[in-house]
Amino acid sequence: MKKITVIGAGFAGLTIALKLAQKGFKVHLHEKSERLGGLLGTEYSEYGMAEKAANSLILTDRSEKLFKEIGLDLTYPLESSKKRFIFRGFPKAMPLNPFEILKVAFTVIPRVLFAKASLKPKSGETLQDWGLRRLGKAPTRFLLGPAMQGIYANEAKDLSASLIITPLFKKDREKFRGTISGPNGMQDIVDYLHATLQQLDVEIYLNSDLDITTVEGPVVIATSASAAANILATRAPQLSTLLKRVNMSSLISTTVFFDKAQTKYKGFGCLIPRDLKLRTFGVLMPPYIFAGRDKTYNETWIMGGKNNQDLLNYSDKDLKDLITKERKSLFKRQDTILDAKIFRWDLALPIYDLELESIQNQLAEIKVPGIFLHGNYLSGIGLSKILERSERLSEEIASQHG
């Protein structure tokens, strides 16, 4: 049986370990911390549950298959979660006015129908510049910017249009069929993956700080870009120098439990455009996303990104005060906070900026025999993209080393 080493046991490491074990590899999975899951996890309290980072995964054929393979029941979202709000004076399902809708329809529909290629971004173009060039000012500010900041946790002016828009033109793109989670939240995915890996005889080492110069056989590095740069410093210095250039940003996810439910706006959540003096990126409404999980009404407030790094130094009290203040502007409500679960992720997410666009192009040119890179800085930040890469990369590895 061919041995392979996987370093990092976040969603990327766990899912590629699964795919490789299924292909007959003897997998050794090394995780630096004392637990599996990386950013994924759920905390349970007397008030209800709080997701540490991701609250769901996009439902695709691949994610459905993954749940089946690990024996986990799919939890489908409520009908109410189909509604999504964007703040413009108040939370609106459609933030554009009729004049703006007509204008964007007249500009975009003919291009979609007759000149799709003209919608493709230029290399080195920011998402904001692409939006202004192709959609106009209001749709960029009130639709594109908030929607993408909800996924990439940074502002349109700091994101690369090529990295974000170009994949949308791919013919083999997976269809978006809603979102899913486990019955007890995202921790279920980690626990069921763990159990399946054990059944497949994957050797798991926690609290491990492996020196890869001592490892024999192929290695998959499934950590953040900065951690990968450190791991590769001696074995592949050129690759390490390139990975060091990946810009990272911090994120704070605060699940706040209230004494009363907000019932005016029922949906997946509300995104907040920039330059409105509000520092929050978006608010998720878990009780309106998945049924039967909540003991108390709660919301998850997401803050951070490149231009809000200072929020990471806020105390728990400062963060709760900020949420109380911004909630008054957003929902015009002042309910009592019963409890708040705050998860601070310091420099945890890659910024999908122009620098990453250039780094990804250069990465394609550097091949180090026996070393494979995996993680959320390579082909998408979301879990469904990471899963897609786990599948493709495991096939590539099997064809070279199987």
Coil/strand/helix, residue 99? helix
Count of residues making up the chain = 402
Least CB distance from residue 97 to ligand FAD, whole Å? 30
Sheet containing strand 371-373, edge to edge, reads 203-205, 26-30, 3-7, 219-221, 371-373
> Which residues have CB under 8 Å from 159's CB, separation 6+?
126, 127, 128, 148, 152, 351, 352, 353
| Contacting ligand FAD within 45-64 (CB under 6 A) | 53-57
What pairs with residue 85 in β-bridges? Answer: 270
Does 262 bind ligand FAD (CB under 6 A)? Our answer is no
- C-alpha span between 131 and 157 (Å, rounded): 10
* Cβ atoms 277, 387 nearer than 8 A: no
Q: Does 11 bind ligand FAD (CB under 6 A)?
A: yes
CB of 102 to ligand FAD, least distance (A): 33
For ligand FAD, the closer CB: 138 or 291: 291
Q: Is 282 in the site for ligand FAD (CB under 6 A)?
A: no
Binding status of residue 390 toward ligand FAD by CB under 6 A:
no
CA atoms within a 13 Å half-sphere pointing along the CA-CB vector of 230: 11
Query: Helices 61-70 and 186-199, interaxial angle, to 10°?
Result: 60
CA distance 381 to 390: 13
Collapse the DSSP code of 176 into the 3-class scheme (helix H, G, I; strand E, B; otherwise coil) and give the result. coil
Q: Is 5 in the site for ligand FAD (CB under 6 A)?
A: no
| Interface with ligand FAD in residues 229-248 (CB under 6 A) | 231
User: Is residue 386 a contact point for ligand FAD (CB under 6 A)?
Assistant: yes
Integer angstrom CA distances of residue 367 from 143, 372, 398: 39, 9, 17
* Secondary structure class of 107 (helix, strand, coil): helix
Span of 19-27, 42-50, 122-130, 382-390 interacting with ligand FAD by CB under 6 A: 382-390
- Tell me if 31 contacts ligand FAD by CB under 6 A: yes
Contact call for residue 38 and ligand FAD (CB under 6 A): yes
CB of 253 to ligand FAD, least distance (A): 4
- Comparing CA positions, the residue from 297, 292, 343 lying closest to residue 316 is 343
DSSP notation for 193-213: HHHHHHHTT-EEESS----GG
DSSP 3-state assignment of 242?
A: helix
Residue from 4, 9, 29, 283 in contact with ligand FAD (CB under 6 A): 9
Task: Work out whether 360 is an interface residue with ligand FAD (CB under 6 A).
Answer: no
Cβ-based nearer residue to ligand FAD, 376 or 394 = 376
Minimal distance, residue 374 CB to ligand FAD, in Å = 7
- Footprint (CB under 6 A) of ligand FAD, residues 299-318: 302
How many residues line the site for ligand FAD (CB under 6 A)?
A: 38
Which range touches ligand FAD (CB under 6 A), out of 31-39, 76-84, 103-111, 257-265? Answer: 31-39
7 binds ligand FAD (CB under 6 A): yes
Least distance (Å) between residue 67 CB and ligand FAD: 14
* Residue 12 touches ligand FAD, criterion: CB under 6 A: yes
Interface residue with ligand FAD among 92, 108, 382, 401 (CB under 6 A) is: 382
Q: Which of 303, 316, 318, 321 is nearest to 250 (CA)?
A: 303
Based on the shown chain and the rule CB under 6 A, indicate whether residue 8 belongs to the binding site for ligand FAD.
yes
Is the Cβ of residue 162 or residue 253 nearer to ligand FAD in the bound state? 253
Query: Residue 197, interface with ligand FAD (CB under 6 A)?
Result: no
Q: Which is nearer to ligand FAD, 28 or 134 (CB)?
A: 28
HSE, CB side, 13 Å, CA atoms: give it for residue 240. 10
345 contacts ligand FAD (rule: CB under 6 A) = yes
Measure the CA angle with vertex 43, ends 383 and 253; round to 5°. 60
Task: Write out the residues near ligand FAD by the rule CB under 6 A.
Answer: 7-13, 30-33, 38-40, 53-57, 208, 210, 222-224, 227, 231, 251, 253, 302, 345, 348-349, 375-376, 381-383, 386
